[in-house]
Structure 1
Amino acid sequence: MGLLQTAISAIYPPRCLGCGELVDSDFGLCGTCWAETEFVGDTACDICGTPLPGFDDGGDLTCDGCLKAPKQWDKGRAALIYSGMGRKLVLRLKHGDRQEIARPAATWMRTAVQPLLTENTLIAPVPLHWMRLAKRRYNQSALIARSLAEITGLDWCPDLLERTKRTVSLDGRRHAERAEILEDAIRINPKRRHRIIARPVLLVDDVLTTGATLNACAAACRTAGARDVCVSVLARAVKRA
């Protein structure tokens, strides 16, 4: 096996996920791309993961946005800021068929979300409508969720949630518009309802912008009897000052 891996490495040497340059190990970033990747630090909103630089990180923090518009989930974590290399990685995974990004994404997310996990947590991805899934061929959130389950050893359910309506794109729309579009669009799969009763659930998505989609998913989980609902995303979109 060692000789085989050496031969494979010689033919297909590891390359940077960002720029394609040679790196020391698979699924890594070179020094330049690493420098362009903004990781969310410890000082962040306890609910949506928005960085809160300058605040005391001694306890739980809540951003103004979550105070004004409370979320349907309990706590949330993000690994990266949705800009620079973080944005490039999300878009390549989502639209560029770069499915290999899911594994390192889950590794970064595990570091951020570990304090929220219990041995009974059920991991579930944000769903795609079946027509969109057929066109894209994969659900990027499900790829991340599967890798996160493998890394943490936790249970996961790829089809816990269903998107019953094919909604229009939410890009560029305000929170209220997104919420209206998503109304009654997401539900618990009737065949999987028994798996979340009185159980903590971790919802996984690639990027969090307004939180409308995760709100709809969290609300469906609560209605179906989930004990706690937390969220984990690869990247958090933030407004720059």
Structure 2
Amino acid sequence: MTFKHGGKIALAPLLGQLLATRMPIDPDCDPPLLIPVPLHRWRIWKRGFNQAALLANDLAKRGKGDVLVDGLVRRKQTPSLGGLSQEERNKALEGAIAVRRGARAQIAGRAIILVDDVLTSGATSSACVGALLDAGAANVTIACFARVASGSTSSD
């Protein structure tokens, strides 16, 4: 995807708009908390941006929730997950994702929308959802721009 790997960050508003159209918000409920899937600091340094954070910020600008860009942290560097089996992906993510210590109070009791660009195997999303639920999130919904068909070898 040229958005993530091609550095085409100008696509964020278009992708955010397309995501926003599929995200109904209940005006009688508190706005959800938008939390992007985290990247390890070395990956951000290499890429220059976190594509999920760009999408989360755009969704917040469109009134789809309150953004908490650093709600989750990737505590350890993980390899690119492309080409790995489901078991290898799960093993690579063991202990890699956690709720930032100072964010627990903001997450507890809130409806969370986990934002990502592409959902491949679901291993990364599952690790994020587990961490958010362990921190007391009321519920977690995943919002992603694309879903890779089962059997594909794209990166997660």
CA distance in 2, matches of 1:226, 1:166: 25
**1:195 match: secondary structure:** helix
Q: State the partner residue of 1:124.
A: 35
Q: State the partner residue of 1:110.
A: 20
- CA drift of 1:173 comes to 1.2
Q: How many residues align?
A: 150
CA distance in 1, matches of 2:26, 2:57: 18
- CA drift of 1:239 comes to 4.2
CA distance in 2, matches of 1:161, 1:205: 12
Correspondence 1:200 to 2:105: no
Q: State the partner residue of 2:9.
A: 99
CA-to-aligned-CA distance 1:18-54 (integer Å, 9 cap, x gap): xxxxxxxxxxxxxxxxxxxxxxxxxxxxxxxxxxxxx
Could you list the runs of 5+ residues in structure 1 that have no partner in the other structure? 1-90
Correspondence 1:211 to 2:122: yes
Alignment of 1:142-157 (within 5 A): 142-157=53-68
- From 85, 88, 105, the equivalent of 1:174 is 85
Q: Which has the larger radius of gyration?
A: 1
- CA drift of 1:116 comes to 7.9
- CA drift of 1:115 comes to 5.7
CA-to-aligned-CA distance 1:194-241 (integer Å, 9 cap, x gap): 11111110000010111000000000000000000000001011149x
Root-mean-square deviation over aligned CA pairs: 1.7
Q: Residue type matched to 2:4 in 1?
A: K
CA distance in 2, matches of 1:116, 1:108: 19
Q: Which runs of 4+ in 1 moved over 4 A?
A: 115-118
Q: Residue type matched to 2:13 in 1?
A: R
TM-score, normalised to structure 1, is 0.59
- CA drift of 1:92 comes to 1.0
CA distance in 1, matches of 2:121, 2:5: 20
CA-to-aligned-CA distance 1:165-187 (integer Å, 9 cap, x gap): 00111001121211111010000
TM-score, normalised to structure 2, is 0.91
CA-to-aligned-CA distance 1:120-163 (integer Å, 9 cap, x gap): 30001000000111111110110011001111252110000000
Could you list the runs of 5+ residues in structure 2 that have no partner in the other structure? 152-156
User: More strand per residue: 1 or 2?
Assistant: 2
